[in-house]
Structure 1
Amino acid sequence: MHLPPEIPCQVCETPAHGNHFGAMTCRACSAFFRRAIIDKSEDGFSCLRGNGKCQVKNLGKFYCKKCRLKKCYQMGMDPKNIQHNRDKIKTPPTLLPQTISTLVGRPSYIIHCSPLSHTSKKSIVDVTYLIDKASECLDYGPQLLNNEMKILERMYMANEFLEAFEASEFSNFSKNLTQIPVIDKQFFMHFWEVDFLKTAKWLSYLDGFQNIPRVVQIQILMTTWHLRARLDRLCRTAKLRRKMKIGENDFMIGSNSCLDLKTCKLDVSWCTDYPNEQIQFFIEGSDDWVHNEVVDQLEDLNPSDIEISFMTCQFYIIKIKKYLIIQRE
């Protein structure tokens, strides 16, 4: 059943797509409700404001999952209306392959349908060249280290150098804020390289990191580069939103690049046979990929640059300590 676009979703007020579990809602709110019930993730929800009265912020976005679920119930959505065991998975759950989705405990990311193309074609993206580039970057910090500086001051200075590094190494760097219209292969390849190499340079400033064998340095880099990059984007977005230099829909991707969460398009045709519409359905209405909840919290917290450096360092210090413990054993 499809509804005319003027009928709003009873939960988030964006155009509704039909009756889902007892209420007229959009597909995003329907998927959110189903995930919360089936995955039992509602048990871990907590109100961001602490008063249980969070409202839709803008463009149908609920940044508080607990209050969003509360409104689902208020509008009449009933867990009894969910059809269990209807997903088209022939393999028993115990035999599911260790995919990213099952590994990180997010089975809702698995698309339970066949792509239009039934070929065995696989998309392989070769990024091994980044390892050689990163190895050179790991020697960057010691050339500029000042042993008299405290660790947080040094890591703050590392962030300053990274801005200059991005401007000098990547020709499309601009001082003016650039809006990214499409998230496509060029987008991913460019920002993977930027984030990977910036993290390698940042790690070269970290105390004790140079004492670790190069092969282990690379392993740490490969498993953590996206985390440093994500924290950097979250903090950068929160800071600029707080200063009202970007809008509520803008999310910072690079030093001077952002995307509009409302208008930016997704193109995954280069790496999957699934239509863009199906992929978009599974991220529609979800803030997981940009973590708007965290951006809101960082806006309220308003950490200084030194405090942000501390937050980032803590993660890597734990990683290095684990490595040293394993070596002693």
Structure 2
Amino acid sequence: MSSVASPSDCSSESSTSPTTLNGPICKICGLTAHGLHFGVLTCRACAAFFRRTVVMERDKKYKCRGGEDRCAVSSTDRYQCRLCRFNKCVELGMTPENVQWNRDSIPTSRKRKEDEPIIPANDLKALSYPESSLLGKPRTIMDITILASKIKEILNEKSGGIDAITKKMNTLEIADYGLKKWRNQQRSEEKMKLEVLPVRQMFAIFEKQMIVVAEWLIQQPDFRLLDATERWQFFKCVWNMWRRFERFEMSVKMFGMKTVNEKKFAISNEQVINVGFHIDFTEITDIPNEKVQQMFRDSMVKLFHEVAKPLFELRPSSVEMAYMLTQMSWQVAGKQMQGKVVEIGERVCDEMANNLHSYYLKEEMRSNYAGRLVRLMSVVNAVKKIHMERRKTMELARIFEVFKVEFSEPDIFDC
């Protein structure tokens, strides 16, 4: 997705900046810098500290620990005196006026749209914790370069390839074929494991599902009209929402109303969990597990009641699910990427509508389906809305450094 870098979040670096073996150094603490943040070359931790201080107006509460307003601020001492650290940020040119509710990322920067609401203050309650917890687990970077390369190879038709059988199918049939290919690997309930899931194992599950989404996308001729960069950006826009929606529908298909009443969720084709009780985040955060779960509680409740419950009532066929996934993918990617993706997406959606019309008439013998289609698309809209709410929650988590892990592709796990 193309984006315009804001003055506060430009990722370019001056060639005259001090450097270490790992690259330019943060002017605040001396550790490796990751780009210009709010006008100054800094690391992500100092940028997040500055933003957090301004957003929460903490500078008014800070007191100098040394009492003389001249404490050392370095890679080892930056957490000792918050007032002196903040003052150094300001003295070196970081300006509160530039603070925005967006992410400081290296490759791209995205401005918060003017009409996008700032997150309500009460959403911060689940994120409150002592700043001393920052001294707990060290921040680590998870290198997913190999995974990203594998996905790009699939998206660029360098591995896997296109199934010959799809050449005789229409757009909707291709989407349904790809969905069934994945779901044929689904274990039956009695063969699935109910277990506590460490968050790193959950990431491993996500990796497998990323491959599934990439293989599903590349089968579609219209997706192949995009260039390599557009395909990768499209994938990042939709994969997480795609796999979450698909897994909720599969859960309803397998467990019925137990999905809603017992929060029973087929997180993969092999594992089933009770959401809120069986995910363990302790490996990547110092925050108590219950607090982390509370961060996502509202969105999870909505997913069960606004997505799972209507899906149980509608019981969509595989073709209808393929239709919803395709519509959702092109709508979401089009909104974020604009231009060419919007144009192709509109054509895809029109063609899919015609394909679905033929399916209803010939396969379902259903001539009056308008009301059902409205209900199906209302589920899609609910998924999209909840997805955006989760993105805002993740934005807060980044601001407050809740998770002590970063990815080499920083926007791959937007929510």
- Please indicate the TM-score interval, normalised by the length of the shorter structure: 0.5 to 0.7
**Cα pair 2:260 2:308 within 8 Å, conserved:** no
Residues 247-326 of structure 1 aligned to structure 2 (within 5 Å):
248-261=262-275, 263-264=277-278, 266-283=279-296, 286-288=298-300, 291-293=303-305, 294-318=307-331, 319=333, 322-324=338-340
Q: Percent identity?
A: 19
Which residue of 1 is the match for residue 58 of structure 2?
90
The equivalent residue for 2:175 is 155
TM-score after normalising by structure 1: 0.59
The Cα shift of 1:158 comes to 0.7
Describe the superposition over 1:175-231 as per-residue Cα deviations: whole angstroms up to 9, x where unpaired: 853234223233222112012111100101123111211121111112211011011
Structure exhibiting the larger radius of gyration computed from Cα positions: 2
1:192 equivalent in structure 2: 206
Gaps of 5+ in 1: 1-86, 168-172
Q: Provide the rounded CA distance (Å) in 2 between the counterparts of 1:283 and 1:123.
A: 22
Work out whether residues 151 and 206 of structure 1, in 8 Å CA contact, stay in contact via their aligned partners in 2.
yes
For residues 218 and 172 of structure 2, the distance between their equivalents in structure 1, rounded to whole angstroms, comes to: 14
Which secondary structure state, in structure 2, belongs to the residue aligned with residue 258 of structure 1? strand
Alignment-derived partner of residue 178 in structure 1 = 192
Per the alignment, residue 400 of structure 2 pairs with none
Residue-by-residue CA offset, 1:79-107 (whole Å, 9 max, x unaligned): xxxxxxxx96526898354259x968545
RMSD: 3.7
What is the CA-CA distance between 1:242 and the residue it aligns to?
Answer: 2.7
Between the aligned partners of 1:89 and 1:302, the Cα distance in structure 2 is: 49
How many residues are treated as equivalent by the alignment?
A: 233
Q: Please, which of 142, 152, 159 is the counterpart of residue 135 of structure 1?
A: 152
Q: Secondary structure at the match of 2:272?
A: strand
Q: Partner amino acid for 1:292?
A: F
Equivalent position to 1:235, from 228, 231, 249:
249
Cα pair 2:180 2:318 within 8 Å, conserved: no
Q: CA deviation at 1:244?
A: 7.0
Task: Say if 1:295 and 1:134 are closer, same or farther in 2 by CA, change over 3 A.
Answer: same
TM-score where L is the length of structure 2: 0.48
2:249 is equivalent to residue 219 of structure 1:
no
Unaligned runs of 5+ in 2: 1-54, 60-95, 105-110, 345-415
**More displaced 10-residue stretch of structure 1: 318-327 or 129-138:** 318-327
SS at match of 2:162: helix
Aligned in 2, Cα 1:116/1:182: closer, same or farther, shift over 3 Å?
farther
Q: Which amino acid aligns with 2:303?
A: H
| Letter in structure 2 aligned against 1:98 | N
Deviation at 1:314, TM superposition (A): 0.9
CA distance in 2, matches of 1:222, 1:200: 10
1:4-83 aligned within 5 A:
none
The CA deviation at 1:311 is 0.6
- Change in Cα spacing, 1:267 to 1:241, as seen in structure 2 (3 Å) is closer
Provide the secondary structure at the position in 2 that maps to 1:113. coil
Q: What is the rounded CA distance, in whole Å, between the counterparts of 1:222 and 1:144 in structure 2?
A: 26
Equivalents in 1 of 2:323, 2:130: separation in Å? 45
- SS of 1:309's partner is helix
Q: Name the CA distance, whole Å, in 2 between partners of 1:124 and 1:218.
A: 21
| Cα drift, residue 317 of structure 1 | 3.0
